[in-house]
Chain A
């Protein structure tokens, strides 16, 4: 549905987007993850035909976003970072206006507006002036605006930014509900969001793709090893040496735990090696009081940090 090849966007000397390629299949939800200024918005703006690319191509439903911009625009719904709302219009008037400029046939406008309001659960506010709505409702009107012409592709730039946790999960569920029928690209810098919402994730940093995969695979691939966390009571040096003798332990870290003076240790091993049994035996056998023992999985958050924090000092300069 979406094919992006070697896409590049330069502003003078600076490259906001640098040689990005990816594909999105029909019905998929793709998450764009990256720190602020990584090039997410720029990429989305190129896909929507708002900005021309400096190099490379992007095609949506087989149409080039630059050459056949009008055809592409008919097929996409776009929610920019700030929802493009007219505060003095009512919700239903506003959606009818958007439907008309998106090319919905005059006879279908009312039906499409109803449908978009039903999907985004805003029918109860249809006669409200947009300026009177809460942030969460405004965001939903923004999403309704993006789907009112029933587009093949929906592009959402930071759809949950500025919402409270309840509203955020509502919007996430709403987005999940849209998938299947629509192909969705959304951007965010909140990791839990892609983990719960997206089929695939692109981690983008400084205009380049750092990784593309499913959230699960990404977690597996990038963590590079297993970790076990132990909380025990006893002598810290003794615990360290006991753990270091565990067969298969690659690294051992011991620190005083934040509560009740117990020790917290982390043991790392190669991928697929389960050390829990051996560790438990060693700790208990060494006369330590074992309080807790569990495997720790590296969250996407940590992977994201690893991928995006190298060369931190140059990042600010390169960031656009």
Chain B
């Protein structure tokens, strides 16, 4: 189950027998991959930081080394609505994904029996279909004259009388696209729970709901933490859903970074935006992991 592993963590085998202690071999195994990550992940981040401080030369698209803190001021003052939108949209999408994913993860973990492996394949199967096309397909599903929009409209539930090209469509797309990232870690956490604990709760006269609240939910928290992070992080940086499903008023930070880099060629401001995004995400991740008390995510 490939996509499971990033979040499953795996059980720790007591070290000893299998563990050899020759550090030199270890370094030989590590160096190529670590060097790659160093050169193409760490160095680019440093480069991003320096670019974010570059100053204009007068020629459009060409910049010189500098210490232009003003780039950050521009990035925040021009694009704060995009930042706020990004975190609101992805926050709502994460909560929705949790609510939708939990029953399915619970079902696969406790009730699926011999169908478990097949169901897990089906959960990751959407990854084999193009992300862009799956997102684009929501234009068909949520179309103005489509079944969903007309039904909700008849019930007077839509403020704009439509879904497409509104924030609702963007949030719906984000929720859908990152759902497997929520299901898998939830499943991995639930699967480790001994079903006898739930029986024991029942034997001690707790209602199914209390049993869930006091036994299953607390034990599944590591999965909830991993799942919310794996959903929230990619969702907040995404600009595919906002572009394909939203209106120009629903753009997110990703859009701002992309247009500044690739269309306006304003590399310093684009880099500043990207750097701020990275800083916010990392701060959120570390605060969240601290508070939830699950550090063993990898």
Q: Indicate whether A and B interact.
A: no
* Residues of B near any A CB (own CB < 8 A): none
A interface list, Cβ under 8 A from B: none
